[in-house]
């Protein structure tokens, strides 16, 4: 039996690594993969990114199942393509993936189905957006509509920053010289207070199976300072997701979303990630939806998963997630991202990576922005590695991760030194 994982990041490395533990599995292909997946004995990189070519590859090699990691192929309709050709694939269709690919679609969907979220307004005219911000005041949140790799959000604590964000995301009204790549719309949302957590489930169209809770660290700097990134580290489980919060998230957000998508004629299958804002009173609101596993949340979640992942996928494709449960290692998993020079701006690439430790059952270095050049591993993206460990508690997992990082080096390497601080301070 053969499996294909589409993507090249740390999320895909972790997914493929976990799938490779399936008894009797013949091969896990990763397309296109990275230097880390290339060095895993059970994995094989395939240098293909074109959707039609990927479908041809899956058909030719009799791939049992394809799993899509990143958001861009989902938004482009790769699931539609595979299904049209009778190929098994796990992920949402192009239409369902609008929950992530269009923030405006997602917010209107939530409003229509009474799913708790922040108040919002959508603008394509910059003058109107600026006027709205002046009316609402700060703090306020500005979001670019469309895919932005987790970085199209500005939490503006003052009006000047809010206006700067609008200027960056929207062309000036009547500006015919604006770049074609500028987003057509921005969403402006009320600022929500509380603590964020990542709540990820598998969905089969009607049933939802929750995965272990996790918490990401979006800002580049210690103490949650600096600009947003795709994520600088994560840990699982997240203490803020108490049994009561878990139940509310399922009851008020996840299940109404699954039912609402079905009612709208767009049944949802695939991973569904709800970014939660948890109030001091235990209330939950939806910050955003992603239509795939989070990165770097996937790395600690896969470290803790004890169930056979392929079994979960097979149940999902059969519409029987209600008949299976996922079991988890009781220990804490924590991952620290090592990022390239200049990230989250334009990252520098080509820097030699040295000092990578041996992987073991309770520590694994998952690769993201890495590639091989003349037999050497070099940086090839913004977030380069995620050093992930398992230990009895957050402090121990944190200490082990940072002890491993001491030996790793590449020029310009940057990382946060406080991953897990919220759990430790609780």
Sheet holding 89-90, edge to edge: 43-45, 27-32, 2-7, 65-68, 89-90
* pLDDT beyond 70 at 349: yes
420 φψ region: left (φ > 0), alpha (ψ -120 to 50), beta (else): left
CB 68 within 8 A of CB 78: yes
Q: Determine what percent of the chain is predicted with pLDDT higher than 70.
A: 96
Model confidence pLDDT, tens digit, residues 367-386: 999 999 999 999 999 999 99
Q: Residue 358 burial by CB count (10 A; 0-12/13-18/19+): exposed, middle or buried?
A: exposed
Percent of the chain having pLDDT more than 90?
A: 91
pLDDT reported for residue 393? 97
Token pair for residue 409?
A: 């080096």
Decide if 370 contacts 35 (C-beta within 8 A). yes
pLDDT grade for 177, boundaries at 50, 70 and 90: very low
127-164: pLDDT as tens digits = 999 999 999 999 999 998 876 655 578 899 999 999 99
CA 232/CA 337 separation, integer angstroms: 5
Residues 6+ apart with CB under 8 A from 121: 132, 187, 188
Average pLDDT over residues 99-126: 95
According to the model, what pLDDT value does residue 425 have? 83
Whether pLDDT at 176 is above 70: no
Q: What are the tens digits of pLDDT across the range 280-315?
A: 999 999 999 999 999 999 999 999 999 999 999 999
Report the alpha-carbon distance of residue 146 to residue 222 in Å, rounded. Answer: 28
Return d(Cα 72, Cα 78) in angstroms, integer.
9
The predicted structure's pLDDT at residue 178: 46
pTM of the model: 0.92
CA angle 59, 65, 66 (to 5 degrees): 85
* Per-residue pLDDT at 44 exceeds 90: yes
Average pLDDT over the chain reads 94
In this structure, the strands spanning 219-221 and 215-216 are unpaired
- pLDDT, residue 173, reads 60
What mean pLDDT do residues 107-132 have?
95
Residue 354's CB is within 10 A of a number of other CB atoms, namely 11
Closest CA to 329 of 367, 362, 292, 293: 362
Query: What's the rounded Cα separation, in Å, for the pair 324 and 315?
Result: 7
Alpha helices in 243-323 (DSSP H): 243-248, 255-263, 298-304, 309-317
pLDDT of residue 148: 60
Give the C-alpha separation, 26 to 42, whole Å. 9
- CA gap 251, 253 in Å, rounded: 6
Q: What is the predicted pLDDT for the residue at 182?
A: 46
Q: What are phi and psi of 373, to 5 degrees?
A: -140, 115
d(CA 42, CA 13): 12
Which whole number is the average pLDDT over 333-354? 97
Q: Which of 119-128, 232-241, 335-344 has the lowest mean pLDDT?
A: 119-128
Average pLDDT over residues 182-211: 92
pLDDT value at residue 179: 46
Confidence check: pLDDT of 181 > 90: no
Cα four-point dihedral sign 146, 152, 158, 161 = negative
Separation CA 160–CA 296 (nearest Å): 31
Burial of 359 from C-beta contacts in 10 A (0-12 / 13-18 / 19+): middle
């Amino acid at each position: 039996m053969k499996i294909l994982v589409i993507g090249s990041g740390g999320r895909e490395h972790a997914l493929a690594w976990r799938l490779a533990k399936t008894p009797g599995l013949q091969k896990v292909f990763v397309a296109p993969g990275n230097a880390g997946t290339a060095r895993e004995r059970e994995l094989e990189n395939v240098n293909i990114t074109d959707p039609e070519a990927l479908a041809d590859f899956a058909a030719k090699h009799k791939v049992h199942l394809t799993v899509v990691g990143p958001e861009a192929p989902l938004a482009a309709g790769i699931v539609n393509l595979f299904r049209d050709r009778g190929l098994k694939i796990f992920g949402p269709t192009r239409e369902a993936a609008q929950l992530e690919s269009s923030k405006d679609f997602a917010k209107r969907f939530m409003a229509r189905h009474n799913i708790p979220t922040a108040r919002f307004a959508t603008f394509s005219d910059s003058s109107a957006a600026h006027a709205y911000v002046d009316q609402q005041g700060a703090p306020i949140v500005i979001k670019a509509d469309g895919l932005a790799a987790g970085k199209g959000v500005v939490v503006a604590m003052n009006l000047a920053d809010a206006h700067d964000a609008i200027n960056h995301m929207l062309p000036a009204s009547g500006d015919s010289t604006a770049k074609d790549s500028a987003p057509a719309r921005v969403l402006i949302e009320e600022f929500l207070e509380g603590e964020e957590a990542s709540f990820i489930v598998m969905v089969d169209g009607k049933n939802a199976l929750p995965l272990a809770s996790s918490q990401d660290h979006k800002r580049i700097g210690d103490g949650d300072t600096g600009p947003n990134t795709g994520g600088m580290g994560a840990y699982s489980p997240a203490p803020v997701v108490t049994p009561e919060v878990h139940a509310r998230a399922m009851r008020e957000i996840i299940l109404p979303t699954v039912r609402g998508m079905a009612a709208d004629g767009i049944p949802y299958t695939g991973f569904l990630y709800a970014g939660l804002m948890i109030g001091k009173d235990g209330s939950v609101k939806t910050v955003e939806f992603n239509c795939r596993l989070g990165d770097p949340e996937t790395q600690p979640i896969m470290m803790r998963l004890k169930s056979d992942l392929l079994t979960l996928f097979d149940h999902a494709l059969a519409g029987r997630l209600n008949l299976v449960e996922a079991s988890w290692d009781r220990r804490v998993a924590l991952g620290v991202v090592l990022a390239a020079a200049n990230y989250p701006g334009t990252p520098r690439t080509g820097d030699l990576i040295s000092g990578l430790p041996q992987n073991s059952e309770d520590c694994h270095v998952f690769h993201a922005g890495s590639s091989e050049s003349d037999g050497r591993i070099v940086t090839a993206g913004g977030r380069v590695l995620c050093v992930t460990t398992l230990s009895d508690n957050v402090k121990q997992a944190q200490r082990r991760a940072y002890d491993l990082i001491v030996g790793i080096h590449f020029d310009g390497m940057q990382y946060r030194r406080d991953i897990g601080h919220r759990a430790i301070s609780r």
